[in-house]
């Protein structure tokens, strides 16, 4: 007989964890592919040598962006315009990693509601709304 009784994990937690897990795996693969593409191809919007030297020199985020071909900090989903490049794939992978939280929260909220945890289901929907608002850039925040 087992010494300790195994606790049951709520289905809402299992579903949330599975969705986050697979989205993170896919996002990581996208980031690795984009990073490799950035270093092995010449088709780059921001030269990797400029980016690395600027970071190692201790430049701020705004200084790095001002010295780039963009000339200023881009807002919104700027990477969609350069998606065929390594920078575009890398940034899209990062964005997808963040986006993976949204379907996970919605599905988890559904299972929370079905298991009569209405308060937590509503909190999950509020956190999904906050994440969606931040991804859409509805309220721009000053950076660096």
Q: Show pLDDT as tens, one digit a residue, over the chain (144 residues).
A: 567 777 788 889 999 999 999 999 999 999 999 999 998 988 888 888 888 899 999 999 889 989 888 888 887 778 888 888 888 999 999 999 988 999 999 999 999 999 999 999 999 999 999 888 887 776 655 655
Domain carrying residue 31:
16-136
Placement of tokens 């209405």 in the chain: 118
Domain assignment of residue 141, yes or no: no
* Integer Cα distance of 130 and 109 in angstroms: 14
Domain assignment of residue 109, yes or no: yes
Contacts of 67 (CB under 8 A, 6+ apart): 50, 54, 59
Q: What is the pTM of this model?
A: 0.77
Query: What does the pLDDT read at residue 2?
Result: 65
Helices (H), 100-143: 101-114, 118-136
Query: What does the pLDDT read at residue 78?
Result: 83
Query: What's the total number of domains in the chain?
Result: 1
């Amino acid at each position: 007989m087992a010494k300790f009784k195994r606790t049951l994990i709520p289905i809402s937690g299992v579903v949330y964890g599975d969705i986050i897990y697979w989205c993170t795996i896919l996002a990581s693969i996208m980031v690795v592919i984009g990073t490799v593409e950035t270093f092995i191809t010449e088709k780059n919007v921001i030269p990797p040598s400029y980016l690395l030297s600027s970071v190692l020199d201790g430049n701020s985020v705004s200084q790095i962006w001002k010295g780039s071909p963009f000339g200023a900090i881009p807002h919104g989903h700027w990477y969609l315009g350069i998606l065929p490049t390594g920078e575009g794939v890398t940034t899209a992978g990062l964005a997808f990693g963040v986006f993976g939280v949204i379907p996970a929260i919605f599905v988890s909220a559904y299972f929370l509601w079905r298991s009569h945890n209405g308060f937590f289901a509503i909190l999950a929907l509020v956190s999904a709304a906050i994440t969606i608002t931040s991804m859409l850039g509805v309220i721009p925040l000053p950076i660096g």
